[in-house]
């Protein structure tokens, strides 16, 4: 993994920021009347420019964090995997992730249907609107869950696995997980010796609280002692909650 995908994403968002910034003044440059839509275009462009700028800065910061990992700064482990080991991990990870998201989907879908049908029964005239919206939400969640799981599986099949582990995060097969900065918080790490992986847990803030994530890093054959050493290091420094 010599390149830095986070930097490429940051550049794209900087370009979006520049385009949105130009669009703020475009109506006046091209002589569009403000009352005829010029003001609306400028306002929407301001919102887009601010949003894109924040995202660009965030990805620049992530690119810098990844650059440090790739250079070996504060790196705890850099593992590569033989093709057969990585294929085994990819298949097992796909099954685990599918099972986890399936269980969560059933829970959300069940609650949504109960609420929607309840509204429909209580208010036959307008309850169908609530039921329809919740049904659309269920469909959207299903599409997102399926597509993200398939995408992760596709990436694991496309690229031969490589992992960088540092105190600040994990870069596993072109996917960056950081638990430092921007409100992110490290929650803990566990070692599953039977399944041969380290499970790092972290959370990030969102509108309603915090979102929890788990990244499972496979332990290559012969690197078990190194994995145990990392586990002890995280625990001894008080990182494990």
pLDDT tens column, 75-131: 899 999 999 999 988 898 899 888 988 888 888 889 888 888 888 888 877 778 878
Confidence band (pLDDT; 50, 70, 90) for 241? very low
Domain shared by 140 and 156, yes or no: yes
- Asked if residue 209 and residue 156 are part of one domain, the reply reads no
d(CA 209, CA 234): 25
> Is a pLDDT exceeding 90 seen at residue 171?
yes
Give yes or no for residue 1 having a pLDDT over 60. no
Confidence (pLDDT) at 240: 40
Pair (10, 33) in one structural domain: yes
46 exposure class (CB count in 10 Å sphere: 0-12, 13-18, 19+): middle
Pick the last residue of a domain from 19, 42, 71.
71
Residue 28: the pLDDT is 83
* Res 116: pLDDT: 85
Judge if 133 and 99 occupy the same domain: yes
* CA-closest candidate to residue 152, choices 214, 104, 207: 214
Structure confidence by residue, pLDDT tens digits, 54-69: 999 999 999 999 999 9
Q: Where are the beta strands (DSSP E) in the chain?
A: 75-80, 162-166, 169-172, 175-178, 185-192, 197-206, 209-218
Question: Same domain for 155 and 138?
Answer: yes
Q: Which pLDDT band holds residue 2 (cuts at 50, 70, 90)?
A: low
Q: Which positions ≥6 away from 138 have C-beta within 8 Å?
A: 108, 109, 112, 113
Q: Looking at the structure, do residues 170 and 194 belong to the same domain, yes or no?
A: yes
Q: Indicate whether 132 pLDDT > 90.
A: no
pLDDT at 239: 46
Into how many domains does the chain fold? Answer: 3
Assess whether 173 and 152 both reside in one domain.
no
Q: What pTM value is reported for the model?
A: 0.74
**What would the mean pLDDT of 153-180 be, rounded to a whole number?**
88
Per-residue pLDDT at 227 exceeds 50? yes
**Window from 12-16, 28-32, 93-97, 131-135 with minimum mean pLDDT:** 28-32
Task: Give pLDDT, residue 20.
Answer: 92
Percent of the chain having pLDDT more than 70? Answer: 96
Q: What's the whole-number average pLDDT of the chain?
A: 86
The domain of 143 spans: 82-160
Give long-range contacts, CB 8 A cutoff, 24+ apart: 12-20: 13/52, 13/55, 13/56, 13/59, 14/56, 16/48, 16/52, 16/56, 17/49, 17/52, 17/53, 17/56, 20/45, 20/46, 20/48, 20/49, 20/52
Confidence of residue 237 (pLDDT cuts 50, 70, 90): low
Residue 33 has pLDDT above 90, yes or no: no
Query: Domain end: 160, 188, 220, which one?
Result: 160
């Amino acid at each position: 993994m010599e390149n830095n995908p986070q930097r490429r994403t940051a550049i794209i968002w900087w370009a979006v920021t520049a385009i949105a910034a130009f669009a703020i003044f475009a109506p006046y440059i091209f002589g569009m009347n403000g009352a005829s839509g010029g003001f609306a275009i400028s306002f929407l462009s301001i919102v887009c420019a601010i949003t894109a700028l924040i995202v660009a800065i965030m990805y620049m910061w992530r690119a810098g964090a990844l650059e440090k990992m790739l250079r070996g700064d504060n790196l705890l482990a850099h593992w590569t995997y033989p093709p057969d080991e990585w294929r085994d991990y990819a298949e097992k990870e796909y099954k685990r992730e599918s099972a986890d998201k399936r269980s969560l989907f059933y829970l959300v879908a069940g609650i949504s249907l109960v609420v929607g049908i309840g509204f429909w029964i209580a208010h036959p005239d307008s309850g169908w609107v609530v039921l329809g919206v919740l049904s659309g939400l269920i469909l959207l969640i299903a599409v997102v869950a399926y597509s993200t799981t398939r995408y992760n599986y596709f990436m694991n099949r496309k690229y031969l696995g490589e992992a960088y582990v540092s105190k600040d995060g994990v870069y596993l097969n072109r996917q960056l997980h950081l638990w430092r900065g921007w409100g992110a918080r490290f929650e803990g790490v566990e070692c599953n010796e039977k399944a041969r992986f380290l499970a790092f847990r972290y959370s990030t803030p969102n509108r309603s609280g915090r979102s929890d994530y788990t990244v499972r890093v496979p332990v290559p054959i012969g690197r078990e002692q190194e994995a145990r050493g990392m586990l002890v290091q995280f625990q001894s420094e008080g990182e494990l909650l």
